[in-house]
Structure formats: structure tokens, C-alpha cells
Structure 1
Amino acid sequence: MSARLPRSYLFVPGNRPERFEKAHAAGADAVILDLEDAVQPDEKPAARAAVQAAVSGGAAGGASNGASGSAWVRVNGSDTSWFNDDIAALVEHRGVAGIVLPKAETRGQIEGILAHAHPRLSVLPIVETARGFANLAELCAAPRVERIAFGTLDFQIDLGIDGDREELDLFRSQIVLSSRLAGIGAPVDGVSTTLTDMEQIEADARRGRRFGFGGKLCIHPKQIEAVHRAYAWSDAEQAWAIRVLAVVETSNGAAVAVDGKMVDMPVILKARRILAGA
């Protein structure tokens, strides 16, 4: 698993190749060339060809897991007529850092993607159905899965849920728990639908972070900065961590307190995590 996984994944329509480089320049940690929701059915073959040309020629942009010049691709679902062609066209290209699998539900779907893939290809399964959620442990343990994404919008539709906050608390917590038990990275939270309310986007991202998520899907470049702010440790948090570790270093094993609160091992570990992430 990579030491630092992306905080932000920016979707760009696969049928808009003129936007690929712009998406990369927008500052997202990873770019996802989208063949699924962003592309109308009659444009699917042309979009696939555009994405294939981009990843073959190194023009896809994006960065993932330190691989500059590569991009992720969200293919069409395995239950669609486009899925097999998407996989055949893309998984052998090293310009594809990973496949984003919508409506992921089984380990077999992931193994099918990897059957003819280049050896460094990763898979990012999106859990957005009841069956996918029921098979979380299976998905988290599948080969070359570094983390799970939560497709909150489709998940709400599949389960008849109306709301993205406390209505999904149980499911968010379980995705984080299953990821931790499998030893994979912190999961990726779903999109915020607003494109103009930066405070709301940041609040959404911070809420996901409090649940234990490690990143967020983005549908517009304007969302990236707010997401990155949410997943950055503040100056105050870093200053607190420095104080904690400084006190511990000079304590000679004695019990100590910072800001009136006892410093025990969980506090020390949190302080180390803050400074490592900063």
C-alpha cells in the first residue's frame, strides 16, 4: 500500500479529451477519466477511444501513487454491454494507474479486471449497492485493492435512503472498519453535489475525515481546494502535536499533561500522526 494515498480524485468526462490536461493542472491528487455516468450511451465507444488514446500517448494527465502522467479510469459497470470492451481496451496500458469499478460487488469482478492487466494496475471498487456493502470484507481483501470508495448517491437510491448525513453514518463507519481490518488504506468518501458553496464542501469533507475517511471524490475542479483544506492538519493542530512530543521527550517517563489534559500513549500516537501527515 502506498505511504500517501490521494486526498482528492477529480472526475473528468471521458468524451471531453480537451479537458484531460486541464483536469491534471487543477491540482487534484488523482484524475479519473470517466466512461460511466459522465458519458451518454451513444457516446460510449468514442469516449473509450479518446481515453485509450490519451493513456497510450501519455496525455491523460493526473497523478496517482506517485506515478506522474498516469490516470485512473472509471469503466462502465460489469453488468453493462460496454464493460468487457472497456477492460480489454485499457487494462494493459501502463498509462492507466488503476480502474475505478462502479457498483463493485464481488471479488470475482476485480479478479476479472486483473486477469490481463499490467502488473502495477490497481482497482478502486466503489461500494454503491446493498450487495456491495454486504460483501465489504470480500472487496477489501481482493488483490490490488488499496482502498474502497463509497458511492453515496447511488447507494442512497439502491437502499431507498433520503439523506447523506446521519442516514449514512452506520455505513460510513462500517466501510472504515472493514478497511482497517483488511489492512488497506482509509476509504474515499462520495461526492458533494454543490459546486459553489465551498464552506459546505469543506464541511462535508471534514465530516468524512472525522469518520475515518482518507479522501473524497470530486466532480469539479472548484471542489479540490476545499477538500485539501479539510484533509490538512491545521497550524493549531500541528503546534499542539509539537508541544505534546516536546513535553514527552523531556518527561523521563513521568506522567505529563498538555493544555490541562493527560498525555498517554493514544495522545502521543495522534501527535506523531499529525506531524507525519503535515
Structure 2
Amino acid sequence: MNSLRTLLFAPGDNLHRMARAVATEADAVVLDLEDAVAPESKPVARHHVREFLAESTREGVYVRVNAVGSDDYRSDLDALGAVIGSAAGLLIPKVESAAQLLELDADLRSLESEHSTQIPLPVLAILESAAGILAAQSIAHAPRVQCLVFGTLDLAAELGVTPTVTGEEYLHARSHLVLVSRAAGLAGPLDGPHTRVDDPVELEASAQHARSLGFGGKVIIHPAQIAPVHAAFAPSEAELIHAQAVVDAYRQAQVSGIGAVRLPDGTFIDRPVVVRAAALLGLEPEKVHV
């Protein structure tokens, strides 16, 4: 259930921006064939992305195709063809039902069989409408889904709300995606982009708020956003110190045969708290036992 902290988008019709994106330290890169590409530029974008996948050795390169069922979606899959297995996965926009992903699964099975692709291609499902948010539980359990992505901008337009830095206007929707992701055994969902590229303070505040709700990472639209988002989704020094104190107290209690574990500040801890502390320290929960 490893989370992607940063998902950097680059338009598929811009070779310079694609090359720049894959050279960054973003956890994953998305070569975009959808909204970042004008309709008249989609054929050249498909050609560029196909060539890029054939030649790139960078791990974590995803492709955002157009919405399932659209003419552009069919053209995208046809163009990717033999190189589709070179992608880390597909981002699917405008997902509003599990049925769309079942259709996608059938199409990908056909492509994978035709081109002898051994590993089924994972899918990141973008939920960017009220219908998509309400259908999130079934979408999270659909075939191939690796992670849910929160489409903030489209949802804001549909709901008629103005996006804010901390996104209280999305609180219910965000929390819903976190709950259904965990219930389906998925990593924390990815938050939508912060569009003010020149304001790293706002960006980090937005990312920290998403992390506090249980999100695993954030979509980003410029390389300058990588470091602030990575910082926001990393444990703070205070969190690490507290986590180490929890693990140490738990281990000492085991040695002493004590059931109830109490920290020096008077806080009692139990197994779920220890599991969380172990995760922050990069430990497997079973390795906390002495």
C-alpha cells in the first residue's frame, strides 16, 4: 500500500516538458493525453507519448488517457498499443461508475493479450464529479484500481464553490475518498493540484491539510512543487520523536511483562498507536516485538 506523494503532470504534445518531468525527483510522472492537450494536438501527443514510452527507462511513468467510452479514448489505446506495457499505469479521468472500469479492464485485457504483456496495467481513477464521489466505494473495488485521485477543479466547477488553500469546501468528499480507499485496501488517495505555482507556502499548507485527512500524496503541475509536497507528506521531527518514544515504551513493557503501556507524559498507548508509530519510523509492525 505504498503511497505516491507526488504525481507530476506533463502535456503529451510537449517533448521538452515531458523530458523535464521525467528528469525530476517526482515519485511518478503523468504524460497527459487529456485536458492538457488541445483537440487538434491529440494525434501528435499520442505519437510523442508512444515514442517516449518506447525509449524511456524511468520508472513510474503513467499515461492519462481520455474518458472511457469517448472517441479519443479508443484512439489513445490504439496508439499506445505495443508500448502500453512500458507504462507504470493509466490515469482514467471522469470516472463515475465501476462499469466504466470494467469496460476498461476488458479493453486492456485484449491489448495485453495481443501484445503479450505479462503484468496487468494498474489504474489510477480520477473522481472529479459529484456522481464519481458518491460511487467511490464501488470504484475503489473495481479491477486494476491502484489508487483514487481527487479531481478538485472539475468538482469545484460542478458544485459552484471556490477552492481554498485548506479545502474545507471539499471536507466531506475528501474524507469519503479516504474511507473508501482504506476499506478497499488501497493506499491513501491523491489530492488534486494547487494551481498557484509561485506560492510554496500555500502549497505546503494545502498538502499538510490533505495529509492530516489521510491522503497519501498530491497531484502537482510544476517541478517547483515537488520539494514542498514531499516535505508536507514527510513525518515531522516531533512526530518521529514521539513515534520512537511509543515504540521504545512498548518494547520495554514487553520485556517487563506489563500489559498497559504509559508514556512519560501520561499518555496510554495500545496496539493501533504502536502500529502507526512503527509506520512513521519505517518499521514493520511485527518488528516492534522484542
Q: TM-score of the superposition, structure 2-length normalised?
A: 0.87
Q: Is the 8 A contact 1:12 1:34 kept in 2?
A: yes
For 1:9 and 1:16, the matched residues in 2 are separated by 17
Q: In the alignment, which residue of structure 2 is the partner of 1:267?
A: 273
Mapped pair 1:220 → 2:222: yes
Greater share of residues in helix? 2
Aligned-pair CA distance for 1:248: 1.8
Structure 2 stretches lacking a partner, 5+ long: 113-118, 285-290
Moved over 6 A (4+): none
- Residue 16 of structure 1 aligns with which residue? 14
**What is the letter of the counterpart of residue 272 of structure 1?**
A
1:72 alignment partner AA = Y
1:100 matched to 2:69: no
In structure 1, the partner of 2:54 is 56
1:201 aligns with 2:203: yes
For the pair shown, which has the larger CA radius of gyration, 1 or 2? Answer: 2
**Aligned mates of 2:152, 2:202 — CA distance in 1:** 16
Query: 1:120, 1:8 → 2: CA distance?
Result: 23
Greater CA drift, 81-90 or 201-210: 81-90
In the TM superposition, residue 199 of structure 1 has moved relative to its aligned partner by 1.1
Counterpart check, 1:112 vs 2:114 = no
Contact 1:91–1:121 (8 Å) recurs in 2 = no
- State the one-letter code of the partner of 1:222: A
C-alpha displacement of 1:5? 2.8
How far residue 254 of structure 1 moved from its aligned partner, in angstroms, is 4.7
How far residue 91 of structure 1 moved from its aligned partner, in angstroms, is 5.7
Note closer, same or farther for the CA distance 1:238–1:117 as it changes in structure 2 (3 Å cut).
farther
Q: For the aligned residues, what is the CA RMSD?
A: 1.9
For 1:270 and 1:157, the matched residues in 2 are separated by 36
Q: Is 1:90 aligned to 2:80, yes or no? A: yes
Between the aligned partners of 1:236 and 1:258, the Cα distance in structure 2 is 15
Aligned partner of residue 78 in structure 1, secondary structure: coil
Residues of 2 paired with 1:148 and 1:258: CA distance?
39
1:215–1:277: structure 2 CA closer, same or farther, 3 Å change rule?
Answer: farther
* Identity percentage of aligned residues: 38
Residue 268 of structure 1 deviates from its aligned partner by: 1.7
* Cα deviation, residue 113, structure 1: 2.4
8 Å CA contact retained: 2:2, 2:187: no
Equivalents in 2 of 1:199, 1:49: separation in Å? 38
- 1:32 aligned to which of 30, 54, 61: 30
Greater shift, 153-162 or 41-50, is seen at: 153-162
- Residues 249 and 76 (structure 1), Cα distance of their counterparts in 2 relative to 1, 3 Å cut: same
Q: Is the 8 A contact 2:245 2:263 kept in 1?
A: no
How many residue pairs end up in the alignment? 268
Cα deviation, residue 257, structure 1:
1.8
Cα distance in 2 for partners of 1:114, 1:54 equals 24
Corresponding residue SS for 2:88: strand
Residue 40 of structure 2 aligns to a residue whose secondary structure is: helix
Q: Distance in 1 between matches of 2:96 and 2:111?
A: 20
- Rounded to whole Å, the distance in 2 between the matches of 1:27 and 1:51 is 20
State the 1:19 CA deviation. 2.5
Structure 2 CA distance, aligned partners of 1:7 and 1:87?
A: 27
The answer on whether the counterparts of 1:99 and 1:124 sit within 8 Å (CA) in structure 2 is: yes
Distance 2:200 2:99 in 1: 39
Deviation at 1:41, TM superposition (A): 1.1
2:4, 2:20 → 1: CA distance? 18
Is contact 2:147–2:189 with CA below 8 Å preserved after alignment?
yes
What letter corresponds to residue 193 of structure 1 in structure 2? T
Matched-pair contact (CA < 8 Å) for 2:68–2:104 = no
Is 1:153 equivalent to 2:153 in the alignment? yes
